[in-house]
Amino acid sequence: MAFSDDIEFEEGSKKKKNMDKEELIEALLNKRERIMHDLDIDAVDDIVNYLLEKNQHSKAVTCLNTLLEHFPYSNELWQRKAIIFDHKGEYKTAVECFDKAINLNPNDEETLINKGITLDNWGLFAESIECFDTVLSFAPNNIDALFNKGLILEKCDRFEDAIACFQKIIELEPDHKDSYYEMGYCYDYIDRLVDSLSAYEKHIEIVPFNYNAWYNKGVVLSRLGRYYYAIEAYEMALTLNPKFSSAWYNKGNAYASLGILLRAVEDYRTALSINRKDVYALYNLASAYEQMNDYRSAIEYFSKAVALEPGHYESYFGRGNCYYQLEDFNKALRDYDMAVSLFRENPELWYAKADAEYNLGRLEESTLSYQKVLKHSPDNHQAALDLANTYIDLERFTEADEILIKLTGLQQAWAEPYYAKAKLYFLIAEVELGIKYIEMAFLINPHERFEFEFERDWERVLQFLIQRDN
């Protein structure tokens, strides 16, 4: 059998174009040679796309193998075979097919670009960029190569380089909408928010009905603190796609940032009506209720969040705070313990746990938790003071004094360590030192000064100091 260099692509093969696809596929599967020379590449593409849509990859490969028996030097057939293997996720075989196509036509821009896309799908980003660079070495204005290279650079967090690709495209094609969109994302990621906003606005000028672009614009405006404008952008996204749960969620966040909590609650609820399993919406809805002092409702939604995502320590912490406000310290401590078990390095969680333990009278345990706060946040002076006061309650005066010496040496206009020192000295009957430190505290907080004679009013003074701790 004589081999042809390639298929003769005839524009007018109407007969085969009109043939039923299934009949044509059957003919190829049965290797009916009479149809081979009447096919053009459009007919081949129709067959391949038809079979891919039906997920019949094996049939598509068999059809192409039949054609390749007759036209083994067709780079276009090898390329389409490669695309089928790419669809199947068999990237190694796909690349081998692309290489055969490239050997037949080394400067085929389309084949090199498609190989680059497959390498990207395979996770071989450096090799993918190399393919696009090969195209750009002899076709520097190839927009597809520039764009796909930009996308890979974006994936590799090389945002400045990606932006350079997209900018080059815009120089060549000023209305290239996708480049503006991707630039918006890149600028946002590197915190060039004004440039990001400008890129999204340019994209929207070209494609005004892209709800994702309106949404991204809202995100950038929120990051800029321009919440009312962000809300307008989210509302435009929702006009175009009312079921866009993320837009409802972020619009709720914008209202929450403005302190308009009732509107935030409405939007979080709408987001959850679309996606009931959105843990972030549940958490933020609960947090809004917490800010509104509706602790029962907050507990309900924090509970739903942890039911969906048991590792969501923030929801345990939030629910614990609500129980704390309701003075149910046992339940609060249970949630704080769970939160700490999930994120042991978080000083805020240890602090909450320490306070709950203190309120339950579990003072020794609370000192250990306050120590954990200071381990992870050594400059937390308030936690150090709370630890010192707890030591005083436990009559561990030496340990308390060591902490208070450090706190009073901070040279800050902070009266609380001086009050604590005064209390300590009064409790150990060092009256003159106690008076000295309370006077020092009054110098810092003169509005709290009151007249007293300690021998007569010592109980009043001590009660004053104890009440400050509470």
- Residue 9's pLDDT band, with cuts at 50, 70 and 90, is very low
The contacts found for 305-309 with CB under 8 angstroms, 24 or more apart, are 305/279, 308/277, 308/279, 308/282, 309/279
Report the share of the chain in percent with pLDDT over 70: 86
Q: What is the mean pLDDT of the chain?
A: 89
CA pair distance 290, 208, nearest whole angstrom: 38
Residues 139-173 have pLDDT tens digits of 999 999 999 999 999 999 999 999 999 999 999 99
Q: DSSP letter for 368, please.
A: H
Task: Report the largest interatomic distance among the alpha carbons of the chain, rounded to a whole angstrom.
Answer: 122
Distances in whole angstroms, Cα of residue 127 to Cα of each of 76, 110, 113, 146, 429: 22, 16, 12, 15, 78
- Residue 11's pLDDT band, with cuts at 50, 70 and 90, is very low
CA pair distance 340, 308, nearest whole angstrom: 19
Q: Which pLDDT belongs to residue 35?
A: 59
pLDDT at 451 over 60: no
pLDDT at 378 over 70: yes
Start and end residues for every CATH 1.25.40.10 domain found in the chain? 277-378
Q: Which residues of 275-308 are buried (b: 16+ CB within 10 A; e: fewer)?
A: eeebbbbbbbbbbbbbeeebbebbbbbbebbbee
Tell me which of 206 and 25 has the higher pLDDT.
206
- Is the pTM here over 0.85, yes or no? no
Tell me which of 17 and 89 has the higher pLDDT.
89
Q: Which pLDDT belongs to residue 5?
A: 39
CA pair distance 111, 272, nearest whole angstrom: 45
Of 153, 142, 152, whose CA–CA distance to 176 is shortest?
142
Residues 61-87 have pLDDT tens digits of 777 777 777 677 777 888 888 988 898
CA pair distance 100, 156, nearest whole angstrom: 28
Q: Which pLDDT belongs to residue 51?
A: 74
Per-residue three-class SS string for 85-101: HHHHCCHHHHHHHHHHH
Residues 15-37 have pLDDT tens digits of 444 456 666 666 666 666 655 55
CA pair distance 219, 199, nearest whole angstrom: 13
- Just give the CATH number of 277-378: 1.25.40.10
CA pair distance 468, 457, nearest whole angstrom: 17
Q: Which pLDDT belongs to residue 461?
A: 66
